[in-house]
Structure 1
């Protein structure tokens, strides 16, 4: 038996213009997957502001489709084995984030994950950058209360969203990945609640590269370094014109 729900991603929840933010889309799918570790594969661009369908089946899990039935993304149970580098300290990560924001090195965008032009609560405002002397990108992050539920816990879709942009930045800044790259797959495990209003650290590292494909790891931790979530992502850069 198939159950179908309708969903429309809000206009402001975008990465590239008019394209729904990948990590957020993955997190929405994750709320429909009981597995402790899940993988979301993206098959096509997910639009914002357009009614889409979430189809749940007992056999095949959950898929996101457009009005014509084209599969845009799907989720399934997965396994994840990562060697997570030590979490940078809160002091060095906070200094990194403050420094890059004041330097003007980061482009100012409205990306839901890392856009500095997003109003608090209308985006994550998570600003990864390369950590000097280490093969890492990192960001200090205090989730806005609007990103959480009534109990103050950051929602699943926003935790998955926080695992997206840091991976892209480590690819851009440290692995030579070209701009325009997209998240093709995201596998994640949530280990403990992420509380809004409390300081957290996101850090990401390169894992491997095969042509236009880049594999990266991302971890989200408390300011004391306790892991809250870990992920592995596959990013694919555009073909050269």
Structure 2
């Protein structure tokens, strides 16, 4: 496994959702939960053995474990509501990782998912599926919209753990909607849920994740 440099999150390391999705795909078809033990390195050969992702030096990068049921569905909104919400994206004002592949406003070649808050506190954003769609891409799309349910200017968080299920991949060019919700905060940990919906409103994937305050 190798995380290409374009799939970064914070500068110099892999986007958490993309990286976790890559590890999950290597683990097989059963739902898994990925715990990141350090920032996933870019352009580095990684191996998965007995549920542990390690770099060539043997350093632990992540742990992959069975997830059980992932029933973390966030209700959908229509695309127009998602478009309006994205105009209120806090990352346009201040972004801790402005070149993130998923939600970085400085990236013209990323997924450009910009989740804004809804009146009930959920986040929502439109998402146009890229030309190449993989399960890792769906995991990436399910990553940041949950984080932005707790992220705010001056309050950075990083993904620590995520479990996701991909029901179906969107087709290239599909106009989708992603929703996220903050479920609870325990000290430095925030539990969030996210869901991805296709053009007709079908649920394509869902995730639960724990984000850690920096």
Instruction: Please report the TM-score for the alignment, with normalisation by the length of structure 2.
Output: 0.90
Listed as ranges, the matches of 1:35-184 within 5 Å are: 35-49=29-43, 51-56=44-49, 60-61=50-51, 63-82=52-71, 84-97=73-86, 99-100=87-88, 104-105=92-93, 107=95, 109-120=98-109, 123-131=110-118, 133-145=119-131, 148=132, 154-173=133-152, 178-179=155-156, 181-184=157-160
Rounded to whole Å, the distance in 1 between the matches of 2:39 and 2:168 is 30
Asked if structure 1 preserves the Cα contact closer than 8 Å seen for 2:34 and 2:162, the reply is: yes
Asked if structure 1 preserves the Cα contact closer than 8 Å seen for 2:54 and 2:62, the reply is: yes
Q: Shift in Å at residue 225 of structure 1? A: 2.1
Structure 2: tracts of 5 or more residues without a match: none
Name the structure 2 match of 1:190.
166
Distance 1:83 1:65, change over 3 A: closer
Rounded to whole Å, the distance in 2 between the matches of 1:89 and 1:39 is 29
Aligned length: 212
Rounded to whole Å, the distance in 2 between the matches of 1:31 and 1:88 is 29
Name the structure 2 match of 1:4.
none
Rounded to whole Å, the distance in 2 between the matches of 1:84 and 1:27 is 18
Instruction: Please report the TM-score for the alignment, with normalisation by the length of structure 1.
Output: 0.80
Of 180, 183, 189, the residue aligned with 1:213 is 189
Q: Shift in Å at residue 194 of structure 1? A: 1.6
Structure 1: tracts of 5 or more residues without a match: 1-6, 149-153
Q: Shift in Å at residue 36 of structure 1? A: 3.2
Across the aligned residues of Structure 1 and Structure 2, the Cα RMSD in angstroms comes to: 2.2
Cα deviation code 1:7-26 (max 9, x no counterpart): 43222221111011111111
Which one has the largest radius of gyration? 1
